[in-house]
Every structure is written in C-alpha cells, then in structure tokens.
Structure 1
Amino acid sequence: MTTIVAFMAESPMQPQNTNDAHAFWSSDMTDTTITDPTSIGKAIRQTRKAPKITQKDLSLQMGISRTTIRAIEQGKETAHIGLVLQLCRHLGMMIVVGSPITESGS
C-alpha cells in the first residue's frame, strides 16, 4: 500500500531544496495522510480556507471554474490529477508519496 502525505502550508512557500521533501517543513505546516479523493479534497479546502481565500477568488486566480474547485474539494473521483496538483501547487501544498514503514523481520 502506498501512502500519500500532503504537507500543507498556511501560505505559499518556495522550496529551498527540491530533492528533500522535509526541507519544506516549517512550524506553520501540518501533514495529512491522503487515502482517497475525499481526503485530498478536504486537505485542499482546509488549506484554501486558512488564509480566507474563497472558491470564487481561487477560480479567478487560477482560471479554473468554481464548479471544478468545488468538485475537487468534495472528492470527485474523476477530477483530473493535473488540476488537483495545480491547485495544490498554487496553495503552497507539497505532496510526498511513499510506502509505509514496516518493521524489519516482518
């Protein structure tokens, strides 16, 4: 099973080191395990709302319809991954994909 962890920033950040996911970590970021479209949608919504950005404002900034943003935030399973990643990038989110850590000898 693969685990996806979204590191969410309260404000967009510029990466210092693109090779090290934890180089982005700061005290104003939280991590969320993403297991399905609903959980990534919830993480996007929380990140958008933290600085009080409305769906309408975000749609104007990005050129994506408000309906599409709402559908992604509600966990629409057929959302285009490119749009989801574009939203995450615009909001300053970083997504790290990894496998769960297993104990040696298991």
Structure 2
Amino acid sequence: MSDTVNPEAYKPLLHGDEAESCHHEGGERKSHHSDKVKSSLISRLNRIEGQVRGIKGLIERDTYCDDVLNQIASVQSALNGVGKLLLEHHLKSCVVERIQEGDTDVLAELMTTMNKLIK
C-alpha cells in the first residue's frame, strides 16, 4: 500500500451545490457551509437544546430515573446524528480540498477527530 494520497480519487465526493469550502482567516481555519446545511445543523441543535432543557425539568420534578436515562439516550443519539452530518460535509469539503492542495496532514487530524467521536 502506498503512503501517497491521490487527490483525484476524492473528486467524486464533491457534488456541485453540496460542495462547501474551507478557508483561512487570520491564520484560523474556517468552514463555509451552504445555507441548507447550516440551517439543518442549527435546527437539529435547537431541538437537542430543548431536549436537554426537558431533561433538566425531569430531574427537577424527580422523574423516574429510567425515564430520564431514556431521554438522555435520545439526546446522545441526536448529537451523534449532528456529528455524522457534519463529518460527511467535512469530508466532502475541507478534507478533500486540503488533500487536493497536497496537505495530507489532514488525514492524521481526521483520525484524531474520528477517535474522539467514536469513543
């Protein structure tokens, strides 16, 4: 197996309007998500925020532990969904872009992030 990365192999991951970009601003990396993706992420996070407030209320009302734990599992699942969506768009934009620029360090960065997401 070769240690070199072929940027051409990643081109099929880019899909017209879905393609987003990453850029550097003042030495800081930033992503630019399409309005559709950003709206979806924010909407999901708003629902999760409401769920977390609901869990707090359950605890304040001394709700049965098993019911609270089920709500916590629901929030964790919803957060995982946000993470998967963001990861997909990160792969299709930032990672592909950096590989195309010859920056293969992004792969080590990605593996570190993946290990944090799946622990």
Bigger Rg, structure 1 or 2: 2
TM-score, length-scaled by structure 1? 0.33
TM-score, length-scaled by structure 2? 0.31
Which fold has the larger relative contact order, with Cα–Cα distance below 8 Å and residues 6 or more apart in sequence?
1
> Greater helix share, 1 or 2?
2
> Greater strand share, 1 or 2?
1
